[in-house]
Chains A and B, each alone.
Chain A
């Protein structure tokens, strides 16, 4: 088997190129800058578009433009830049423009620091921009998934005409792991609704404005039906030793990696612990967690935020079992020992 040892950030660019992404627009920020570096190098090599935008606002609006042109397009940033992009993401959602946005989360609020964190969960999974909209959020936890889930992100974006986030933390972005190179996507869908400056596309209109109240209500309801379909079809998660688990650990991105080690360690001490890792943060695996809450004793959510995803877990558990939370923030990553100690407290 042939593999390359690359950073998660580089793997996401590889995935984008393989998925037929034609344009990259971004503004540098640690810990996501390697994405811009790799994009500058490889998009240009393939004659595809790379622009270092004047700001994240500029970048996301370029994404809006390229998506309007019917091309696969991406941008990447970290917390402060994602905050700036939110206006544009709302417009993309409203105009039903497919695009891929990568967020390599760092410490916040404000300038925070460049350490790994997961404090962007709410601003991404819960919308962040104005209006009634949702975005698909995929959360890789390895370099291989940075590549594969980026490819999937493009596919889902086109399938549902929706912005898709690849959300992970600084650790996954900066870590190098072996990646098996996938085959490039052959058939990128042709988008009849796009603007290509051709006679066929001249009648097309891309917009998010519906002045008539009834029209806007209909538009929002249409989006909502699409979101329902996504909730039904696109939930993804990974289970680890859940069969006989009494305590379910839940975490995403680097935390899910640490929790895997915790499961193995805790089981050596006879604790029946398992792991549920949401791969899609929206749609969230509510149904699966709801089912688990019928048979397990309790849940422990571990985050690198003061408790954001835990609210989705609580909604899914719906009061049936205790949901505990352990977290570190500010760039601190919880150690397996800390989490095992917490497990001992709650078992």
Chain B
């Protein structure tokens, strides 16, 4: 105990760093004069004081602080370079009552990880980021960081950072201050006692904000890297004051936690019974019964290509047909053409209906073509199998199918739909025609499928009428 008081090691650190390889389990792996050790200590003390060590999950970045988990007696996760804010996002959402701390260097946070940083900040994730800005890549041997100063020599700016080649150092607090969501942004420096006291305060505030579920806080700490800068440890503070202070202005860039409501996350529904209820899983299914009646052989087990222009509802036609066949007890598949061609151009789908398990879902050579416009007839009529059927919409198609070896069924689908009051139900007229002509399905299952497929219930009766008209016309060959 006495010894503990002497070294004043925070409780949030392990007494002995068992995770650290090698003989020395007492001191850190950082260089003399490095700022990381100081930041660790300030964080550990704050965790102690708030009594939240065991709630804390520390996200270890890639950089000199990759081994922060050697020291912290809390949950630890090591993540890919720059991705801490994304990982932290999920940890915070999944454990809303934990304390998620991202610890990141300038390369990690402001170069490779800018995207993750900005979006986590912009979502206002309930997390705390401690951003150690040492104007250099320490771990990899002193290369330029996004925060490297103009003129500063590094391994990759051997003649000094040149704004024309490397641009200017990124000011992270100022950048994030342009976002609405963050509640607290402050830049502090690890230099003399006065500045250290400010840093301590800032770290506490950022942690406290998260405990109060106020959202996203970031503290930027200007931190010495004597090794990377090539200066003696005692001169490092002076280096910060002379080189970093003029460019990276210390201060508070945002502090609005007081004005924000705590973030509330929904309670998860995991209980199977509740899941079934909430998703209506016991209600959405359709009974699919044994096939009671079958059409004559040549109309049995059809494969269909249903085509028209986008907006004619050919996909819905196929869906209602497939669903009705499913209710009847058939195996069915429905495959749309998807992608840009759907936008403005033609749309089509393949529907397969059969008693046996379905192999290929593509109706490359269909038994039935339902063509709602002329390009569709022209494009697909030669694919239809001999002995098949072509149903075509004479309202919009002013040519006759050229095929002589198939059954041709003409229907004024759009015209009839127009008579019914809406040209958009031409698809259902065509559907009615097909089932009326072949006797593949009955009225009952088709109407059931229709009402399951249409979300706007006031449109159901019109669509029903269209199907029935189509069925009636099928015999008459309108």
Interfacial chain B residues near A261, Cβ < 8 Å: 359-360
- Inter-chain contact B119/A206, CB cutoff 8 Å: no
Interfacial chain A residues near B95, Cβ < 8 Å: 69, 195-197
- Inter-chain contact A62/B360, CB cutoff 8 Å: no
Q: Is the interface of B mostly helix, strand, loop or mixed?
A: mixed
Question: Which of B21, B77, B326 has the most chain A CB atoms closer than 10 A to its own CB?
Answer: B77
In the complex formed, the residue of A with least CB distance to B84 is A61
Interfacial chain B residues near A175, Cβ < 8 Å: 333-335, 361
Q: Within the complex, what minimum Cβ distance (angstroms) separates A170 from chain B?
A: 7
B291 within 8 A of A: no
Interfacial chain A residues near B360, Cβ < 8 Å: 254, 257-258, 260-261, 336
Interfacial chain B residues near A177, Cβ < 8 Å: 332-334, 358, 361
Q: Flag A45-56 by CB within 8 Å of B: 1 or 0 each.
A: 111110101110
Q: Within the complex, what minimum Cβ distance (angstroms) separates A57 from chain B?
A: 7
- Inter-chain contact B279/A17, CB cutoff 8 Å: yes
Q: Within the complex, what minimum Cβ distance (angstroms) separates B343 from chain A?
A: 12
Q: Which of B269, B285, B357 contacts A46 (CB 8 A)?
A: B269
- Inter-chain contact B279/A69, CB cutoff 8 Å: no
Interfacial chain B residues near A113, Cβ < 8 Å: 339
- Inter-chain contact B76/A206, CB cutoff 8 Å: yes
B interface residue count range (under 10 / 10 to 19 / 20 to 34 / 35 or more):
35 or more
Q: How many angstroms from the CA of A73 to the CA of B94 in the assembled complex?
A: 10
A174 within 8 A of B: yes
With A91-B80, A198-B54, A212-B21 already in contact, the answer to whether A66 and B86 are too (CB < 8 A) is: no
B97 within 8 A of A: yes
Which of B134-142, B270-278, B420-428 faces chain A? B270-278
B159 within 8 A of A: no
Which of A180-188, A289-297, A306-314 faces chain B? A180-188
Q: Within the complex, what minimum Cβ distance (angstroms) separates A12 from chain B?
A: 15
Q: Within the complex, what minimum Cβ distance (angstroms) separates A326 from chain B?
A: 15
Interfacial chain A residues near B79, Cβ < 8 Å: 61, 64, 91
B202 within 8 A of A: no
With A62-B90, A91-B79, A257-B360 already in contact, the answer to whether A184 and B272 are too (CB < 8 A) is: yes
Q: How many angstroms from the CA of A8 to the CA of B319 in the assembled complex?
A: 14
In the complex formed, the residue of B with least CB distance to A198 is B54
Which of B67-75, B150-158, B304-312 faces chain A? B67-75
In the complex formed, the residue of A with least CB distance to B76 is A205
Q: Is the interface of A mostly helix, strand, loop or mixed?
A: mixed
Q: How many angstroms from the CA of A4 to the CA of B95 in the assembled complex?
A: 34
B115 within 8 A of A: yes
Q: Flag A261-272 by CB within 8 Å of B: 1 or 0 each.
A: 110100000000
Q: How many angstroms from the CA of A17 to the CA of B270 in the assembled complex?
A: 9
B438 within 8 A of A: no
Q: How many angstroms from the CA of A328 to the CA of B53 in the assembled complex?
A: 58
- Inter-chain contact B268/A62, CB cutoff 8 Å: no
Contacting residues of chain A (1-56) with chain B, CB-CB under 8 angstroms: 1-5, 17-18, 20, 22-23, 25, 30-31, 42, 44-49, 51, 53-55
- Inter-chain contact B334/A47, CB cutoff 8 Å: no
Q: Within the complex, what minimum Cβ distance (angstroms) separates A339 from chain B?
A: 10
Q: How many angstroms from the CA of A42 to the CA of B66 in the assembled complex?
A: 37
Interfacial chain A residues near B266, Cβ < 8 Å: 44, 47
Contacting residues of chain B (324-374) with chain A, CB-CB under 8 angstroms: 326, 331-336, 338-340, 357-362, 364-365
B322 within 8 A of A: yes
In the complex formed, the residue of A with least CB distance to B284 is A4
Q: How many angstroms from the CA of A318 to the CA of B365 in the assembled complex?
A: 38
Q: How many angstroms from the CA of A204 to the CA of B72 in the assembled complex?
A: 11
Q: Within the complex, what minimum Cβ distance (angstroms) separates B179 from chain A?
A: 13
Q: Within the complex, what minimum Cβ distance (angstroms) separates A146 from chain B?
A: 13
- Inter-chain contact B278/A3, CB cutoff 8 Å: no
Q: How many angstroms from the CA of A95 to the CA of B78 in the assembled complex?
A: 9
- Inter-chain contact B93/A58, CB cutoff 8 Å: no
- Inter-chain contact B339/A115, CB cutoff 8 Å: yes
Q: How many angstroms from the CA of A261 to the CA of B354 in the assembled complex?
A: 13
Interfacial chain A residues near B361, Cβ < 8 Å: 171, 175, 177, 254, 257
Interfacial chain A residues near B333, Cβ < 8 Å: 175-177
Contacting residues of chain B (246-305) with chain A, CB-CB under 8 angstroms: 266-270, 272, 275-276, 278-279, 281, 284-288
- Inter-chain contact A65/B275, CB cutoff 8 Å: no
Q: Within the complex, what minimum Cβ distance (angstroms) separates B72 from chain A?
A: 9
Interfacial chain B residues near A73, Cβ < 8 Å: 90
B104 within 8 A of A: no
Q: How many angstroms from the CA of A257 to the CA of B350 in the assembled complex?
A: 14
With A61-B116, A198-B54 already in contact, the answer to whether A5 and B19 are too (CB < 8 A) is: no
List chain A positions with a Cβ less than 8 A from chain B. 1-5, 17-18, 20, 22-23, 25, 30-31, 42, 44-49, 51, 53-55, 57-59, 61-66, 68-71, 73, 87-88, 91, 95, 113-115, 170-171, 174-178, 180-181, 183-186, 188, 195-199, 201-209, 211-212, 215, 254, 257-262, 264, 333, 335-337
Q: Kindly list 7 other residue pairs between chains A and B, CB separation below 8 angstroms, not including A171-B361, A197-B95.
A: A1-B287, A5-B323, A48-B269, A177-B334, A184-B276, A211-B21, A261-B359
Provide 13 A-B residue pairs closer than 8 Å at the C-beta atoms, listed in order of the A residue.
A3-B286, A20-B270, A58-B116, A61-B79, A65-B77, A65-B89, A174-B336, A180-B285, A197-B55, A204-B75, A215-B21, A261-B360, A337-B364
